[in-house]
Structure 1
Amino acid sequence: MIKVEVVYAAVDRQVLLTVTVPVGATVRDALLRSGLNSEFPELDLTSCPVGIFGKVIAEPANRPVQAGDRLEIYRPLLADPKEVRRLRAAKAAEAKARNQ
């Protein structure tokens, strides 16, 4: 058996769990074993995007975990970061033009 960490940050709180899984378990197996879907019913652990130490895993059902891995469950973005930056730059340019 090996230990991995499973991390999820909801809008209102963060959860970090240590999960014990058998050697050869996949990322998806570890997520399901964490039980986070009972604590966060909106979370679909069979299809949610996930990463290990900040690197997205394309096929979590096929990627075995290693002892000490930190599995991070990602939430969908509420806004496109590029669009937010564009709007902020436009607002700053407008403010600068008014002050001249």
Structure 2
Amino acid sequence: MENNLIHVEVAHALEGRQLIMPVEAQQGITAAEAIEQSGILQEFTDIDLGKSRLGIFGKVSKADAVLQDGDRVEIYRPLIADPKEARKKRAAEGKALKNRARKTPTKA
């Protein structure tokens, strides 16, 4: 490896498909620049970098974050459901099941 080159990966996953693209770039490259250079935007044409959240090894990061050798930039897909609403729904369903269990007579 030349002194001024680093190796990073750019990753994106959908429910049925995952792609990790290797990128060799100059030191000082940002997450957004690595994404552009990787070609992943041509593979996943629905990615909107203006709206997508990014991370480096699972930690949310900004597009202008400068990458280090060996970093993996992750492009996160939008949430399908609001996590707070999903928890409320699960809690309500659990409560309903618990109430039904109490009303069901048991055989002695």
Whether TM exceeds 0.5 here: the answer is: yes
Structure 2: give runs of 5+ residues left out of the alignment: 103-108
TM-score, normalisation: structure 1: 0.89
Backbone CA RMSD of aligned residues: 1.3
**Partner secondary structure for residue 94 of structure 1:** helix
In the alignment, what sits opposite 1:33? 37
In the alignment, what sits opposite 2:105? none
The 4+ residue runs of structure 1 with deviation greater than 4 A are: none
Structure 1: give runs of 5+ residues left out of the alignment: none
Instruction: Give the superposition deviation at 1:5.
Output: 1.1
Equivalent pairs counted in the alignment come to 98
In the alignment, what sits opposite 2:81? 79
- Equivalent-residue separation in structure 2 for 1:39 and 1:76 (angstroms): 17
Rg (Cα) greater in structure: 2
Instruction: Give the superposition deviation at 1:40.
Output: 0.8
- The answer to whether the Cα contact below 8 Å between 1:37 and 1:45 also exists between their aligned partners in 2 is no
Cα 1:85–1:22 change in 2 (3 A) is: same
